Amino acid sequence: MKKNFITGFITGGIICAAVTGFAVEYAVTANPYPVKVNGVETAIQGYNINDETYFKLRDVSAAVGGFDVGFSDNTITIATEQQPEPTIAPAPTPANLSASDITIVKGEDGNDYTSDGLIVEHTDEGDFVFKWDILNMMENQDIKGYGFGGKYFFKKGSKENILDDIPLHPEDNLLIPIDYYVSTIQPLIQTLKAE
């Protein structure tokens, strides 16, 4: 009995020492260095963990644009703004269309579009348009250098957002309600076009 107790005690000590030897301590500190995006200092909070710098994806997305970060169905999602163009585009409409003239039309490919050419996504929560589709339309109208970052619309390289708190689809942050697009974003595009 005494022999089994001593053997068990020694085995327990060896296991305890082995587990303690595998434990790793992480030193986490705030990043003390400024972060610049395209030469412009930003308010991205960095973290140094064992001499490596880490950033929150949402902070990087807001600073540089070009992708959205989300979480749904227990999955972290990262989506770029660039998506393929539809193979058959709807008939072109005048570029000076006012927001009140925008309607939903059926395209030759059977999909629904806004009358100014954006794909309409019908969901249980309502009708939406894609952020990347808005940016592509702006590029086609020579309105360049703008982007979406989460709920923000901004001019790239600027520290200030043009639009804050853009409403988004509850499960897909690439979708903007069509009524918000018509009432807010489309008039802003017309203003930017006039500049």
- Over residues 161-171, the pLDDT tens digits come to 999 999 999 99
pLDDT tens figures, 43-79: 677 777 777 777 776 677 766 766 777 777 777 777 7
Q: Residue 16: CB partners within 8 Å, gap ≥ 6?
A: none
Establish if 16 belongs to a structural domain: no
Establish if 114 belongs to a structural domain: yes
- Count structural domains, the chain: 2
Least-confidence region, from 28-32, 98-102, 155-159: 98-102
Establish if 165 belongs to a structural domain: yes
Q: Which two tokens stand for residue 43?
A: 């308010």
Residue 41 has pLDDT above 80, yes or no: no
113, 68, 61: which is closest to 91 by C-alpha?
113
Establish if 4 belongs to a structural domain: no
CB 138 within 8 A of CB 155: no
49 and 115, same domain (yes or no): no
Residue 173 has pLDDT above 80, yes or no: yes
Establish if 62 belongs to a structural domain: no
Burial label, 149 (beta-carbon count in 10 A; 0-12, 13-18, 19+): buried
158 and 116, same domain (yes or no): yes
Q: How far apart are CA 98 and CA 90, in angstroms?
A: 18
pLDDT of residue 110: 86
pTM of the predicted protein model: 0.50
pLDDT tens figures, 86-137: 444 444 443 444 445 778 888 888 889 988 889 999 999 999 999 999 999 9
Range of the domain at 44: 25-55
